[in-house]
Every structure is written in structure tokens, then in C-alpha cells.
């Protein structure tokens, strides 16, 4: 109701709800007063398959009583809980308050656990089995929609288990990505590269950097045109973590590693967005997610026997 700015809509909803509920009671009342002669057979007049008739008998009394009880329940519910326009009901309940109470209860129970791991570095947290069990559940609930339950991604969504990092694979770099999100932007580069033929030649040169199948003649022709790309990706395709430019010489592709896919990338550019999770997960849960992701590609040292 917060979207309606006049009292008219509040009254409109209240009247509409009450009239609807009470109309059900009136309808049931008149149905319950209908009488039929004992032994008489009354139908609605509808017949199917020549002799299949629909009887018009009153509802059983126990069934009518149940319907009346639902009306009484509806009126009691509307008196106790929100449902009549802006009224919050006599109990003052709201889904927002219930959510906040449940969150506060969970924070009181799990907060000390999160705080314990938040005091460690991401790398050290990744060595704790309890932390990894929590981090995995947080990842599956919040990150698997894009990266998959196994964190291996899909087209347009990076594989987080291959030890190839666009922005850096340190614990702090991963945590920053979780908290702040990332914007992976490559502008269309066709005009800078040259003609459509030049674009195709550069695509084959890019494939050659990783030893992927390519046309060697086209790759040779595209090597000089790759200079337009080297400012971000490096002369040898090593990438640029500072600006989020991916490596091109490792056979790891987010949008596909064929000449056609690379040509499409050069012509149209790419804009990959990872949203920030700091307002959803918070600092401590993001820390656990980052540690879990870090553990997928790093090999943490063995946990000390005293822990």
C-alpha cells in the first residue's frame, strides 16, 4: 500500500476485502436454505453422453459448516494481521520485523563463529575445515547461479577453479571481488584493428598465442595489428590484472575460444559484471566465500594438529 498516495485506495481495499468475505457468507446462507422434496431428483439441466446428468443437490451440512468456519477464520486473520489496506492488525506483525528478528537470532548464534574466521587472513581461513564447510554453503546459495555449484562457470561466467585470475588470485584480491564486485569491460576494437579481414587475422593471432588451432598465415598477418590490443592484454597476451584484462595465452576463455567467438568479441566488445556482495553477505560472510573460492585453486598448508 505504500505505493498508493491517497486514502481512497486504502478504503477501496478495505471495502473490497470485507465485501468479498461477507458476500461469501451471504451466498452460503441462501444455499443452506434451499429445500428439496425427499426422494425428488433435481438436476441442473446439463446432460452429457446422452444420460449423464448433473444433480443439483444442497451441499452436506458438515461441508457448509466448514465454509462458514473459513469465513470466521478470514475475519479473525484480518483483525490480527495486515490485510485491510494500511492496517497492520492488532498484533502489529510484519514480514520485515520477522525477517529482522530471525537475522538477529542467527547473528547471535553464528556471529562468534564468523568473527573467529574473519580475524584470520583469507589464506589461513582456507585451511580450516569448518570454515570451508560454511563457505561452500554460502557459495552454493549465493554464487552458484552464475558460477555453478562446482564453481566451474559457464559461457560469460568465469571458472573459479582453474587458477586463472583476471584481477589477481590472492586472498585479498578475491575478497575484494566478492565485496566490491567487478566490471570487466572491453570496448569494441574493430575500428582500431582495421578491416574485417584484419579482425579475423587478429583472432587467429590470439589463438596462436595459446597454441590453439589457428590459420598460421592469418595469424602472421594479424601479429602487427595486435598492437591495438597489447596496451591492455600485453605484447605476449599475458593480460593486465591492474585493469582486469584477461590473459590470452592460456587456452582459458570466458566467451569461447573459437575464431568466430574472438571475432565477435573484437567487433562488439564485452561487458561482464559481477555484482558487489558486501550489502548482501556482509564482511564476515564474504570473507568465508573468498576463502572457499581461494581453496579451490590454491593448496592450503596442512591444518596444524592442535587445531
Pinpoint the alpha helices (H) of 119-226: 122-125, 129-142, 144-147, 171-180, 190-193, 196-209, 216-222
Q: Which residues are CB-contacts of 88 (< 8 A; sequence separation ≥ 6)?
A: 82, 94
Q: Determine the average pLDDT of the residues in 283-291.
A: 96
CA-to-CA dists, residue 95 to 85, 99, 142, angstroms: 16, 6, 22
pLDDT, tens digit, for every residue of 92-148?
A: 899 999 999 998 998 899 999 999 999 999 999 999 999 999 999 999 999 999 999
> CA 255, CA 195: separation in Å to the nearest integer?
22
pLDDT at 139: 97
Domains and CATH numbers, the chain: 7-80 (no CATH), 100-181+280-297 (1.10.760.10), 184-274 (1.10.760.10)
Report pLDDT digits (tens) over 215-260. 999 999 999 999 999 999 999 999 998 889 999 999 999 999 999 9
**The whole model's pTM is what?**
0.71
Work out the average pLDDT over 198-227.
96
- Determine contact, residues 159/151, Cβ cutoff 8 Å: yes
pLDDT in tens, 143-170: 999 999 999 999 999 999 998 999 999 9
Say if residues 169 and 163 touch (Cβ distance below 8 Å): yes
- At residue 212, the 3 state secondary structure works out as coil
245 three-class SS:
strand
Count of CA atoms in the C-beta half-sphere (13 A) of 127: 11
Indicate the pLDDT class of residue 307, thresholds 50, 70 and 90: very low
Amino acid at each position: 500500500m505504500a505505493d498508493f498516495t491517497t486514502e481512497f485506495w486504502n478504503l477501496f481495499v478495505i471495502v473490497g476485502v470485507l465485501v468479498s468475505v461477507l458476500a461469501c457468507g451471504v451466498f452460503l446462507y441462501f444455499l443452506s436454505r434451499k429445500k428439496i422434496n425427499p426422494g425428488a431428483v433435481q438436476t441442473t439441466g446439463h446432460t452429457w453422453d446422452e444420460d449423464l446428468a448433473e444433480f443439483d443437490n444442497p451441499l452436506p451440512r458438515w461441508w457448509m459448516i466448514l465454509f462458514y468456519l473459513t469465513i470466521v477464520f478470514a475475519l479473525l486473520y484480518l483483525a490480527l494481521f495486515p490485510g485491510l489496506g494500511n492496517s497492520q492488525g492488532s498484533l502489529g506483525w510484519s514480514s520485515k520485523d520477522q525477517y529482522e528478528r530471525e537475522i538477529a537470532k542467527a547473528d547471535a548464534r553464528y556471529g562468534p563463529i564468523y568473527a573467529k574466521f574473519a580475524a584470520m587472513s583469507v589464506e589461513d581461513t582456507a585451511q580450516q575445515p569448518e570454515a570451508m564447510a560454511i563457505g561452500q554453503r554460502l557459495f552454493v546459495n549465493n554464487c552458484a547461479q552464475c558460477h555453478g555449484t562446482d564453481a566451474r562457470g559457464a559461457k560469460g561466467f568465469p571458472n573459479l577453479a582453474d587458477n586463472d585470475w583476471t584481477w589477481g588470485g590472492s586472498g585479498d584480491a578475491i575478497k575484494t571481488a566478492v565485496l566490491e564486485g567487478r566490471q570487466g569491460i572491453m570496448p569494441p576494437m574493430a575500428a582500431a584493428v582495421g578491416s574485417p579481414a584484419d579482425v579475423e587475422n587478429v583472432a587467429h593471432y590470439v589463438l596462436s598465442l595459446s597454441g590453439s588451432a589457428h590459420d598460421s598465415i592469418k595469424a602472421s598477418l594479424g601479429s602487427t595489428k595486435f598492437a591495438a590490443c597489447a596496451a591492455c592484454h600485453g605484447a605476449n597476451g599475458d593480460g593486465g590484472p591492474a585493469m582486469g584484462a584477461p590473459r590470452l595465452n592460456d587456452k582459458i576463455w570466458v566467451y569461447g575460444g573459437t575464431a568466430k567467438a574472438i571475432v565477435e568479441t573484437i567487433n562488439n566488445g564485452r561487458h561482464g559484471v559481477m555484482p558487489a556482495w558486501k550489502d548482501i553477505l556482509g564482511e564476515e560472510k564474504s570473507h568465508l566465500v573468498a576463502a572457499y573460492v581461494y581453496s579451490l585453486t590454491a593448496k592450503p598448508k596442512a591444518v596444524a594438529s592442535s587445531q
